[in-house]
């Protein structure tokens, strides 16, 4: 069974928030989220970016979320960043390119070759833009 978790980037506070416990929607639009120490209001909700947990962990057992920047631990070269695709699939988008590599499949099962577990999360595209020159 896949664990469904989210984190949120708060553009207003420039803060990454983990352990989201409540999300409320109205007419398919996110209107409120919170955890034990943080919450949005009607003035800040538009500056929130939700990122889903992939259900996978990197080579150091760190959870991999959308927006995480992955690096090859042997040569320290960035592989790209994690992006949610259609049909429950996550992929890595390479910097300055259009190549995508699937890292999960339907139902949260690990890929058959599980190569993602050899790579490492070194940051994310919101707190560490400079790592991939993401604007």
Q: Establish if 124 belongs to a structural domain.
A: yes
Q: Establish if 29 belongs to a structural domain.
A: yes
Domain count, the chain: 1
CATH number at residue 105: 2.30.30.290
Q: Establish if 65 belongs to a structural domain.
A: yes
Q: Establish if 74 belongs to a structural domain.
A: yes
Domain residues for the domain of 47 are: 6-131
pTM, two decimals, is 0.81
**76 with 70: CB under 8 angstroms?**
no
Q: Establish if 101 belongs to a structural domain.
A: yes
Q: Establish if 1 belongs to a structural domain.
A: no
Q: Establish if 89 belongs to a structural domain.
A: yes
Dihedral pair phi/psi, residue 126, rounded to 5°: -100, -45
Per-residue pLDDT of the chain in tens (135 residues, 90 and over written 9): 678 899 999 998 899 999 888 888 888 888 888 888 888 877 778 888 999 998 888 889 999 999 999 888 888 877 888 888 877 777 787 766 555 555 554 444 555 445 667 789 999 999 998 887 644
Q: Establish if 91 belongs to a structural domain.
A: yes
User: Residue 110 carries which DSSP code?
Assistant: P
């Amino acid at each position: 069974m896949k664990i469904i978790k989210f984190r949120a980037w708060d553009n207003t506070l420039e803060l990454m928030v983990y352990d989201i416990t409540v999300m409320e929607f109205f007419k398919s639009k996110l209107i409120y989220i919170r955890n034990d120490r943080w919450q949005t209001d009607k003035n800040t909700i538009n500056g929130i970016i939700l990122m889903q947990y992939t259900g996978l962990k990197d080579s150091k057992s760190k959870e991999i979320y959308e927006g995480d920047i992955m690096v090859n631990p042997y040569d320290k070269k960035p592989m790209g960043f994690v992006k949610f695709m259609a049909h429950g699939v996550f992929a890595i988008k390479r910097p300055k390119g259009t190549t995508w590599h699937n890292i999960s499949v339907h139902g949260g099962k690990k890929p058959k070759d599980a190569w993602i577990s050899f790579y490492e999360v070194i940051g994310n595209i919101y707190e560490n833009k400079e790592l991939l020159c993401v604007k």
